[in-house]
Amino acid sequence: MAAYLERAGGNPGRSGHRLSVAAARVVYEAREAVAELFNVPDPLRVIFTPNATYALNLAMRGYLRPGDRVVTTSVEHNSVMRPLRALEKKGVEVAVVPCARDASLKPAAMEKAVTPATKLVVVNHASNVTGTLLPVAEVATIAHEAGALILVDAAQTAGCVPIDVQEAGIDLLAFTGHKALLGPNGTGGLVVGADVDASEIEPLIAGGTGSSSESEEQPETLPDKFEAGTVNAVGLAGLHAGIRFVTERGVEAIRARGVALTRQLAEGLAGIPGVKLYGPADPEKRTAVASITVEGLRVSDVGLRLDDDFNILARVGLHCAPAAHRTIGTFPEGTVRLAPGVFTTAADVEKAVAAIKEIASA
């Protein structure tokens, strides 16, 4: 990012001078990196947005019309549920498929809900509360058999779980840059699959793109149609660097390490009286996330003690996903969420388990 500001810094696509050309090159290289990571044949179908929330809104608000039917699950983040509830008030039919208490989804339940009238199916790849992985490829098959598209929220998995949009049959993939892709805040995007007719999706905003400047109409070409205004080029330089790190390490290797740390964390927490871990018991069925409660203690108090006394940072509460907490039975208090990352060590996990044990026994 520092190199971008020092050597480029122009407005990408807005001029022919060297700084603008250098900036445009940085943006396109980031687009290519995303395409390679998710196996997207055409990098121009990678749309950059400020975050996954914007990407999800673009897909849902841009594609759904009054009278359409959309199917989602009971463990979605508010970045899905709030736009859908707003669309529901405008005449979009919203069907919510209940998940199990561990936040897992049975394809049979989805198959029952996805009717020929369904236009879009929206699922997260993994719950941000429990880490539970959903059967995205199976849901995609169900959606396609009914003539619907599938939109996948990959905010929790992009960079730490392998994603192949072609192999999984994903039509629309929303991702964020600031989590497992190791990029900065303010970066993310929407992958528009090769079989998706982009003319059926309306942009959220319109404006300058640096292309077709002779026209006062928004261009239909991708990615320009959905990228009005100056993109966060310095942020995308950071995103590209993060993706390079991830691809050099290997997503499969990152995933394996995450599974090992999650297993260590789950096994350590299981031996502490009064501590309850939510989500699947098998770490292969979840991302590196552990949501817990401690009997007799408020989650906010547990989180505060972890921070103040042990220098361990955890997120507490409802995690912007009240539907998921209702599903697993932790609403309205929520949980304490521990999330080992790519730089977390086994010693860090051991320290966290010891801290929780001390807090629970106080």
- DSSP letter (8 states) at residue 298: -
Beta strand 188-192 with 46-49 is antiparallel
Q: Has residue 15 got a pLDDT over 90?
A: no
Please say whether the dihedral angle defined by the alpha carbons of residues 203, 204, 208 and 209, taken in this order, is positive or negative. Answer: negative
Please give the Cα distance from 165 to 173 (Å, whole number): 8
List pLDDT tens digits, range 25-48: 999 999 999 999 999 999 999 999
Residue 332 one-letter amino acid: P
List pLDDT tens digits, range 114-150: 999 999 999 999 999 999 999 999 999 999 999 999 9
List pLDDT tens digits, range 282-311: 999 999 999 999 999 999 999 999 999 999
Beta pairing partners, 189: 48, 175
List pLDDT tens digits, range 66-124: 999 999 999 999 999 999 999 999 999 999 999 999 999 999 999 999 999 999 999 99
Question: 241: pLDDT confidence band, cut at 50, 70 and 90?
Answer: very high
Please give the Cα distance from 139 to 123 (Å, whole number): 8
Under a CB-based contact definition with an 8 Å cutoff, are residues 291 and 102 in contact? no
Instruction: Name which residue leads in pLDDT, 16 or 219.
Output: 219
DSSP codes of every residue in 141-192: HHHHHTT-EEEEE-TTTBTTB---HHHHT-SEEEEESSSTT---TT-EEEEE
Question: 272: pLDDT confidence band, cut at 50, 70 and 90?
Answer: very high
Question: 10: pLDDT confidence band, cut at 50, 70 and 90?
Answer: confident
Q: Which of 347, 291, 341 is nearest to 316 (CA)?
A: 291
Under a CB-based contact definition with an 8 Å cutoff, are residues 66 and 88 in contact? no
Q: The pTM is what?
A: 0.97
Q: Which domains does the chain have, with CATH numbers?
A: 2-249 (3.40.640.10), 251-361 (3.90.1150.10)
pLDDT the model gives residue 16? 85
Active site members:
320
Kindly report the average pLDDT of the chain as a whole number.
97
